[in-house]
Amino acid sequence: MERGAKPEFFGVTELAVDLTEVAARRPLSGERLYSAGLTLFDVDLATIGAALAGGVPLSEALPQRIWEDGSLPLLLALRAAAAWQAARV
């Protein structure tokens, strides 16, 4: 309701910091409305990409919680990022 059903940006970003640093970060005052309920995951894109390249279905390659709770844009973004990571190796 807060967004009024407006489209939102969605993306996946590879960070150079670990999960602990992200969790400890204090959001800017304007971000609090949209970042108060964060759920953080470490995702190993290389492992997921290798599994996908080996024929493992996305539902089995991703961590179970992400597969069960992730939105379609998140699942597709992770699939694309993992495939790109596997191609780089």
> Length of the chain, please?
89
On the CB side of 32, how many CA atoms lie within 13 Å of its CA?
4
Amino acid identity of residue 49, one-letter, is G
The alpha helices in 1-89, defined as continuous H runs, are: 19-24, 32-35, 45-53, 58-61, 64-69, 72-88
The pTM is what?
Answer: 0.70
pLDDT band of residue 42 (cuts 50, 70, 90) is confident
| Distance set, CA 85 to CA 4, 11, 17, 22 (Å) | 36, 16, 18, 22
Distance CA 51, CA 82 (A): 9
Taking only the tens place, the pLDDT of each residue in 58-87 is: 999 999 988 988 888 888 889 999 999 888
